[in-house]
Amino acid sequence: MSKIYIVEDDKSIREELAELLRNSGYEAEYLTDFSNSKADILSAHPDLILMDINIPNLNGEQLLKEIRNESDIPIIMVTSRTSETDEVLSMSYGADDYITKPYNPTILLLRISAVLKRSAGSSSVQTYNGLQVNDAKGSLTDGNHELILTKNEMIIFRLMLDRQGSIVTRDDLMTALWDNDEFVNDNALTVNISRLRSKLAELGCEDAIETRKKQGYVLK
């Protein structure tokens, strides 16, 4: 059971997060005293950290930077800030992912699962119709040829692969890509789906993605 450590100063939010994680099969702990945050977090030996940016004493970005000086523990920033600058800064300091509030609980759990798989190294390599799917490299390979997927293409493919054979709605895909409907661009999703189809076809998986009119897509 993976242990996830929550760094969030809002009591109701951290307790809701902890309940969500425990109901999803994770062990969850959280910080309540922010006077010695870094030491308390590291001494808990978590498998992943969910960290807000707006926390007492050190802000989350600075705390992220300090933790990165000592540890490679996967860290996902969870914040109400929607500034692109904050996301870029967090990623440059070593965050493994960044998700904004209000978040979709299902999408948060998918992001957590993806980051844990990447951090597990070789266990992140899975297969689809004879292709190796490597989350860490963001690639698909048939053993002879390797194609690199963009970040958005991998998010789409991973969500479809997790639900292979079932319909994945456009809303689910757009939420996974942009977290907040305010930033959704329907045409951009169509373009990403088209490029992913082409890359799968290059590796011999013709017609891998089926369109279900007014419903979504199915990875066959």
Residue range 197-213: average pLDDT? 93
Model confidence pLDDT, tens digit, residues 114-173: 888 877 754 445 788 989 888 767 889 888 888 888 888 888 998 898 888 999 999 888
pTM over 0.75: no
Q: What is residue 82's predicted lDDT score, i.e. its pLDDT? A: 66
What's the Cα-to-Cα distance from 1 to each of 5, 26, 47, 48, rounded to whole Å?
A: 13, 6, 9, 12
Instruction: For 62, list phi and psi in degrees, rounded to 5.
Output: -70, -40
Q: What is residue 122's predicted lDDT score, i.e. its pLDDT? A: 42
The proportion of the chain whose per-residue pLDDT surpasses 90, expressed as a percent, equals 42
Q: What is residue 182's predicted lDDT score, i.e. its pLDDT? A: 43
Residue range 85-100: average pLDDT? 84
pLDDT band at 184 (very low <50, low <70, confident <90, very high): low
pLDDT band at 75 (very low <50, low <70, confident <90, very high): very high
Least confident of 87-101, 148-162, 168-182: 168-182
Cβ(6)–Cβ(28) under 8 Å?
yes
C-alpha torsion angle, residues 96, 101, 102, 106 (rounded to 10): 10
C-alpha torsion angle, residues 4, 9, 15, 19 (rounded to 10): -30
Q: What is residue 125's predicted lDDT score, i.e. its pLDDT? A: 59
Q: How far apart are CA 25 and CA 4, in angstroms?
A: 11
Q: What is residue 123's predicted lDDT score, i.e. its pLDDT? A: 46
Q: What is residue 84's predicted lDDT score, i.e. its pLDDT? A: 74
Residue range 73-78: average pLDDT? 92
